Structure 1
């Protein structure tokens, strides 16, 4: 198992580095959330420290990303101060052949969607296990909901044919609470035939803040793979 884990870690490092290498000096960079993106943040910090990269500013999508960025010496800003984001790097839980995504395994999808859709270029970093033929195959759709509305929202989702469950904490009692102080409902759909339509429908339910379907937000996915025991990075470009 350790050899496999090492290979998986190497693969995440490679793909994180490949994304960090695409960032240019004087860029405003959206910093995503999750284990693969964490390596991208680390490599951005390394490039800054070595002087290879200058004057970048990060916009974190979560408290986790903020802590990591500070640890690696990346200066941070907020959306009320800047008027653009040049490039965003973020992971995904599923990627379909049209490069539509499901995100939100780390419950940060609302802030991620704000930052990633504002970016002129949004690069998705994943390992090959995240590639699916159809969204919803392996991962539920996370829906962020204000606490008072979680029960009616779950009933509304059931009417749409989804099977909702409130996401519970792993090492704490009670539900997961997002950085915005809300709850997350994970929804299993038997088949997501039209992700764009479902994204809108879910967001129109009163009490829903945002959901984890990201449709038409990226043109580039970097996929980490293991070939003959060696990590490699493959590009999938839309169109």
Structure 2
């Protein structure tokens, strides 16, 4: 199977993790698009009923609404049973790098509401150590130069993602050359730097389950 087929496979598998009758947290990205389509098909067929979803991006909001799934504001819910989202990288402890789609801040907000994070990804996203994928960092624009210098001091090379403005009005730095061996400490440190809105390391909000699409089917990893 090619990568698109693997994304469809894990998107369909993730529907089994959606609790009937409860509001769902929905992430962003091409794999999540496949999940939304599979979710909509189950709802249309009468196999599942949910009151709505909290979305992490305008992109996912539009897809959910087009499928007839009500989208609720995050402020309207106190908790979510589950949040389903993809990852750019995930390690064997469930720590992730996210933000390739520039939605990392809202993704982390919605993940914080959820009791459980279910990551959906193809097998190419599983790594031993985070850092091969360029680390996205949402920033306040005026801090770009000084944050670039701070990442350089860690051995990283930060580049402003050209032409990208997030749903929050922020900019994205993509940082290469890092090896993130202690994701929890790294996330805590970088999150304190002035000008950082959100760093794309999801360590505090790590996955509890990963549905990994492989050539021989969906593998379920638990952390």
What TM-score range do you get, normalising by the shorter chain? over 0.9
Q: Give the counterpart of 2:144 among 150, 156, 170.
A: 150
Whether the 8 Å contact between 2:23 and 2:54 is mirrored in structure 1 is yes
Is 2:78–2:113's contact at 8 Å kept on the other side of the alignment?
Answer: no
Q: Mind listing any 5+ residue stretches in structure 1 that lack a counterpart?
A: 169-174
User: 1:24 Cα deviation (Å)?
Assistant: 2.1
* Aligned with residue 184 of structure 1, among 147, 161, 172: 172
When the two structures are superposed, what TM-score results if normalisation uses the length of structure 2? 0.95
1:64 aligns with 2:53: no
Q: 1:233 aligns with which of 191, 197, 218?
A: 218
1:205 is the counterpart of 2:200: no
Are 2:210 and 1:221 equivalent residues in the alignment? yes
Distance 1:99 1:55 in 2: 27
1:90 equivalenced with 2:85 (yes/no): yes
**4+ residue runs over 3 A deviation:** none
Once the two structures are superposed, residues 88-112 of structure 1 have per-residue CA deviations (whole angstroms, 9 ceiling, x without a partner) of 1100000111111000110111110
Q: Tell me the TM-score normalized by structure 1.
A: 0.89
CA distance in 2, matches of 1:74, 1:44: 9
Does structure 2 conserve the Cα–Cα contact (< 8 Å) formed by 1:162 and 1:188?
yes
2:32 to 37, 48, 52: 37
Deviation at 1:225, TM superposition (A): 0.8
**What is the aligned-residue RMSD (CA, Å)?**
1.3
The answer to whether the 8 A contact 1:27-1:87 is kept is no
Partner SS, residue 189 of structure 2: helix
Higher-Rg structure is: 1
Partners in 2 of 1:25 and 1:218 — Cα distance? Answer: 21
Residue 215 of structure 2: SS of its match in structure 1? Answer: strand
